[in-house]
Structure 1
């Protein structure tokens, strides 16, 4: 389905949406405006006068195949720091753990146990009153309020956070120990509400290391497959999933001088083959691995000494296909064919 996101008045980012959508590229301003729009849209509130200067007096608009979206009918969560993961696991109104525990009020077994406790509270109240009467108190009668579920959570609940089976303050937890819990809470919320859920992730490489990023992406993919209700919007300066696959190519939206979504893999491979300066011999696995490395570097106008030489050739091909021709290639040309050498040297 085509998703159309307003990031400034009358300016939209349009792309074919998938379960995971990778926004990557050198246009940091556009990435920020995109993230800002997701955040403002999620509130579902009327724009202030100042906000109308940004989005216009008709509000901020998101479209699914030309149909206006309503944020209040969706679930939208943001991950932009380790604190956003921690806060989801903290018992505060609106957090994932808060919503999970609140929902237990609909659990028959739990409410049955609460009724039994209230029966005991009533017995305790009668016992107090009888003791008061025996001691000559006739104008004062003690009573106890029944225990409500919300009151029980507010006054009696304490959450323990464990790292290697040892309790830690939440603020000191390694978020790696909470990713499974975060994803379980997210899955439970989607199952419970049956609403479409969006996860918007901004620059995750700055607060999660590569192994955790890969784990988180796989968890999201699993939730998406099981529920068919999860969409992930992955806004990054350079990180793509290490398990980058054929199906992932068309999920990349490159944000450079303009926004451009990659075509399906076979279409891209054929375009590369036609423009490649020598006989194209890369296997699918080699091509995917190379694309994984170079896509974040498209249109960068700087030396790229850290890239493998064959990646340099492919990067220049991709740059030309997308209209970016200014990348500098100050490198040692050893191990390249004569045609590859001439191609980079031109």
Structure 2
């Protein structure tokens, strides 16, 4: 299917989009513009956007059909607070939805009933005390209900190394699994398509946890109606495989969506200066390293094999490659040092 995102007034980015798309590259402004459009489309703010996107405000389509804000659930994960917010009991958060589901649970109903019986006994005790001082006043404790208790009495902390901390002290990475568990439950019960928009995750998730996080996200993709938009400066520590190359969009002078792995590998072999021997898996690994440098105009310092591949891919996409060849050469002493 085709995802059509308005970036400015009647200027659209068209993407082949199935379940996940990766946007990366040297032009960070272009990447921000995509995130901005998605964010303000789903968080309606005509006061901010009408002068940029025109009288129709931001437009977003899938296969020429306008995406419904009402019938799509969207989570934007772009900083530490965006994870923190989902762990709060507030409307439209994952925790709010998770805890509210217990409202119809029979065990919860039974526990609330027992509490109200205790409240009635407490009411009698207080009334007996008050009767010593008043003939007319009557005590009444209102019955409790589960949702009112969540609203008025719930206090959340988080636990780490057997210690309880205020939620504000949260280590973001320690709650990634909780976030995904909550999301999985929502997906299993949800009738609406759910979107996960991830922007600049390297600023608040370590490279190791980033890899684990995406492995689990890709598992959810295979099981539920989830759509993922990844927007980041690079593709490091992402579980990219041979099926993902065509889902990568490079932001340079233009937006360029890559060909499927077999087609792009065939094109590289046809344009390579000598025979290019590589499996599809190894080719994807090499592409994952060079993609963030496609279209860059500054001089590059990459290993020689990556630099050759980058130049080939740049030529396929009509970009030039700038590098200083002298900087790629090693002295005899340096070569011998590496070999020892």
TM-score (norm: length of structure 2): 0.90
Where structure 2 has 5 or more consecutive residues not aligned to the other structure, the ranges are: 331-340
User: CA–CA distance in 2 between the matches of 1:171 and 1:123?
Assistant: 38
Q: How many residues align?
A: 330
Residue 284 of structure 1: how far off its partner (Å): 2.5
1 CA distance for matches of 2:327 and 2:149?
69
Give the CA deviation at 1:44.
Answer: 4.0
Kindly provide the CA deviation profile for residues 138-164 of structure 1, in whole angstroms up to 9, marking residues without a partner as x.
Answer: 311111111122221133222230112
> Matches of residues 1-346 of structure 1 in structure 2 within 5 Å?
1-44=1-44, 47-48=46-47, 51-129=49-127, 132-133=130-131, 135=132, 137-227=134-224, 229-305=225-301, 307-331=302-326
Cα gap change, 1:193 to 1:112, in 2 (>3 Å): farther
Q: State the superposition RMSD in angstroms.
A: 2.0
Q: 1:302 to 1:129 in 2, by over 3 A?
A: same
Q: Distance in 1 between matches of 2:63 and 2:264?
A: 25
More divergent stretch after superposition (235-244 vs 263-272): 235-244
Conserved? CA contact 1:299–1:327, under 8 Å: no
Checking the alignment, whether the CA contact within 8 Å between 1:44 and 1:72 is kept in structure 2 is no
When structure 1 is superposed on structure 2, of 323-332 and 292-301 the one drifting more is 323-332
Runs of 4+ deviating beyond 4 Å = 130-133, 331-335
Structure 1 residues without counterparts, runs of 5 or longer:
336-346
Q: Return the alpha-carbon distance in structure 2 between the equivalents of residues 192 and 148 of structure 1.
A: 24
Deviation for aligned residue 1:303: 2.7
Q: Report SS of the residue matched to 1:142.
A: coil
Distance 2:261 2:128 in 1: 81
Deviates more, 1:23-32 or 1:114-123: 114-123
Shift of residue 172 of structure 1?
2.4
